[in-house]
Chain A
């Protein structure tokens, strides 16, 4: 297994290893392993080697290349990469006008010494939780290639879980970082809405879109988030007041999730159980606003070439475009009520915890989950526990729980807006105590 980003950067800055060697190794891992998981859409070898050479030149000249010196990474295929079309996972955009500059997030990572190596698979236009793509195919879960990686940032979670790259960027509108992170057993951050730079990121739903890193360690998550935010997250040392979310977040759980989540809560001393009101309304409101804003954004293209869309995406977007404005306004109005409730909750507690998904990754051959006794498509419904939190704009870390002998499952560490530093400190503490950590990949699963 490769080192995490912090360890790689420390070795490169100290001159113990060259950025070019690190980059060559990453490219070799992708070339050797991606056929099994189908996570990479474009390998950017020339660009990566040029960036790595620039980092090595700085080291040779005694100039600090930055906190991510020589760390290879990939981006979900909706970040602008200079000179390439930004596909947003859409086959019809493969010949779009190439981006003239990098997305702001990529520029900040480059300035910190990171090396962009690949673009990564996703659901078309980020509208799905599966990474089942009509053009680039289905990304497979590195822990069991017969199962979904989750989505829409499934390529990002899969390359990190498989150990091909130490980190990747994804985007999260309704759970698209946290869900694949959970199903693949890696860390993921959905920041406070608007906290990380969105310039040069192909939009989906302005009200909820955020970007964030996916990593194999809590310390990497904090470091990369601070680079992306262009400011350090000062660590909070105070012991956080923790509550467990029950009610909506305790229903529909598979036994493996119940066991892992109960064990995590027990290790925390069984924090108080609280119930939020109207979580179903929050989730449905997020569903409506997503459909309406996504449908409105894509309507001009639907008018020009509806048949160019992935059918599974197209019909959802058309339905959203047809939604009466009254539905959107009803959802918008409820958002303030829901946010007020959370303000009161965060006056009593610092961190709320809840499962990310109902259970483990669904099979690709049977991409369904059970909700309230009904089998429903995973593509549209895996966000049961994540969507209400996007609706409120909260920062959330998805963290891999201990679940020995089973597929990965994740927990959400939820904070008040702007409380990322506290979440990072708590996550790091949990990782030190061995309660949360990315499971090692069973290389046999990739054979």
Chain B
């Protein structure tokens, strides 16, 4: 089953994400990034409910 985002997103994953985007920033300096990623994940689940996902 494909998940919209990694969950939970840990610091290591965040570092990889930022590097992939080409953004030179420390995850510790982006205090609401994880919340915003989780929010988008929830909205995606509303747009495209995931079969078998209890949260969808």
Contacts and interface: CB of A to CB of B under 8 A. Distances in A.
B29 to A, nearest CB: 7
A347 B29 CA distance: 52
Contact of A322 (B17, B31, B32, B35): B17
B24 A284 contact: no
B40 A299 contact: no
A47 to B, nearest CB: 38
Given A319-B40, A322-B17, A312 B47 contact: no
Interface in B5-43: 17-18, 21-25, 29-33, 35-37, 39-40, 42-43
Contacts of B22: 299, 303
A377 B22 CA distance: 29
Interface of B: 4, 17-18, 21-25, 29-33, 35-37, 39-40, 42-44, 46-48
A321 B21 CA distance: 8
Contacts of B29: 307
Interface stretch (A141-149, A224-232, A285-293, A358-366): A285-293
A262 interface: no
Interface string A129-146: 000000000000000000
B13 to A, nearest CB: 11
A281 B47 contact: yes
B40 A288 contact: yes
Interface residues of A, number: 29
A388 to B, nearest CB: 12
Contact of A324 (B4, B33, B46): B4
B30 A318 contact: yes
A42 B26 CA distance: 35
Interface in A299-331: 299, 302-303, 306-307, 311-312, 314-316, 318-324, 327, 330-331
Across the A-B interface, the 3 shortest Cβ-Cβ residue pairs: A319-B36, A284-B43, A284-B46
A53 B35 CA distance: 53
Determine the main DSSP class of A at the interface with B: helix
A280 interface: yes
Given A312-B32, A315-B36, A319-B37, A330 B25 contact: no
B3 to A, nearest CB: 10
B47 A284 contact: yes
26 contacts: A284-B43, A284-B44, A284-B47, A287-B43, A288-B43, A288-B44, A288-B47, A291-B40, A302-B23, A303-B21, A303-B23, A306-B23, A311-B31, A314-B30, A315-B33, A315-B36, A318-B18, A318-B23, A318-B25, A321-B21, A322-B17, A322-B21, A323-B40, A327-B40, A330-B48, A334-B47
A288 B47 CA distance: 9
B23 to A, nearest CB: 5
Contact of A302 (B4, B21, B37): B21
A322 B24 contact: no
Nearest to A320: B40
Contacts of B4: 324, 327
B47 A306 contact: no
A175 to B, nearest CB: 16
A280 B21 CA distance: 30
Contact of B36 (A280, A285, A316): A316
Contacts of A284: 42-44, 46-47
A287 B31 CA distance: 20
**Chain B CB within 10 Å — which of A288, A314, A322, A334 has the most?**
A322
A380 B40 CA distance: 12
Nearest to A306: B25
A331 B23 contact: no
B47 A327 contact: yes
Given A280-B46, A315-B33, 14 more contacts: A281-B46, A281-B47, A284-B44, A284-B46, A299-B23, A302-B23, A303-B21, A306-B23, A307-B25, A311-B31, A315-B36, A318-B23, A319-B37, A323-B40
A307 B44 CA distance: 28
A380 B39 CA distance: 10
Contacts of B36: 315-316, 318-319
Contacts of B37: 319, 322
Contacts of A330: 44, 47-48
